[in-house]
A and B are shown apart, each in its own frame.
Chain A
């Protein structure tokens, strides 16, 4: 982290930050107050991460920080300097095809407007790593921190269970 730069427009100090996002190393120069969500969307142009409430309640901005779901609107980019971040764009199969959670969302019609979807994809991807075979109640609990205004959640719960099936099928083949 260096602070040798100043934003000519605002006079704010800029910090150099290194992030590995979806396996790719990036260097960016940001003011300290840049939220990780904005660094991803505006500086790195990874607009898959959505911003809803910007105070930790809706879950749309959830990314994986070192593999664990965290709110990207509740972290400063400068504070996670050096970290590895996975966004919904990174929840793919190694060959670039839809990841098991993304595929399950399509299969189960688990999204309508799609605003909340990136936060669900990241959250569920990490959840299934620790809990590969959830019950329906566990699936419902797993998404308790994410809000969706469209679907009524039933199809999202179904998608968690379907994603667990796809994950197992793919591991077996």
Chain B
């Protein structure tokens, strides 16, 4: 239960981190809450780790008119406690509260969880649901932004290239007149969910809060599929959001 030896690198800037990553063909160490257990169980033995924890300027949470942007060192717990982010988009806190236990959230990073791309993880589903993006940097190709849709490639597989450092993630605010919810079934609160559902319901401008006009519903399911997908429904027909549902709107229908 001890990790294998590795070479340790401690950059203090993002550019340094990217060049160390390219030079060593190592892995980034962020919160370590997924990587260290995997290394302790000897499921992974990277030759080198590039420790992001001493890079400055990566822990900020920036709430603009259009989105919540978090840095690669924003811990799950920082996002959960951030009042401005909650006011702008309550779904972020509702979902992140289901990520592990508070003790893990104090160290694990939300961007790390996106990169790790566990199909059972909450925040990849939220990024997908909101149509967000991840910004990455490499020495060879500079900066690029990857849309959530393209970011999650498969179980534990993201579109990040081995020499790329993820520096931030952007969660766009849901449109005005929308509501969101997060539901999850886990054996204990804090365990990985067996299945979960995030929902975003956007009301039509002319239905202005009246029941009935629901032109845009989206759902995201952690745990139910091999990779994070967004289900989308347009038009007045009201499809439900269940554990599994196909594109023709079959599944449970909401009552009332």
Contact = CB atoms under 8 A, between A and B. Distances in A.
A35 to B, nearest CB: 7
A10 B5 contact: yes
Interface residues of B, number: 32
A9 to B, nearest CB: 12
B10 A1 contact: yes
A69 interface: yes
B7 A75 contact: no
Interface in A48-82: 54-56, 59, 62, 65, 68-71, 73-76, 78-81
Nearest to B48: A32
Interface residues of A, number: 33
Nearest to B75: A68
A30 B24 CA distance: 21
Interface stretch (B99-107, B147-155, B239-247): B99-107
Given A55-B37, A74-B32, A74-B37, A65 B106 contact: yes
Contacts of B54: 81
Contacts of A123: 103
B189 A55 contact: no
A141 interface: yes
A56 B38 CA distance: 11
B90 interface: no
Interface of A: 1, 3, 10, 12-13, 15, 31-33, 35, 38, 54-56, 59, 62, 65, 68-71, 73-76, 78-81, 123, 141, 144-145
Closest 7 interchain pairs by CB? A145-B101, A32-B8, A55-B37, A33-B3, A54-B1, A69-B103, A68-B106
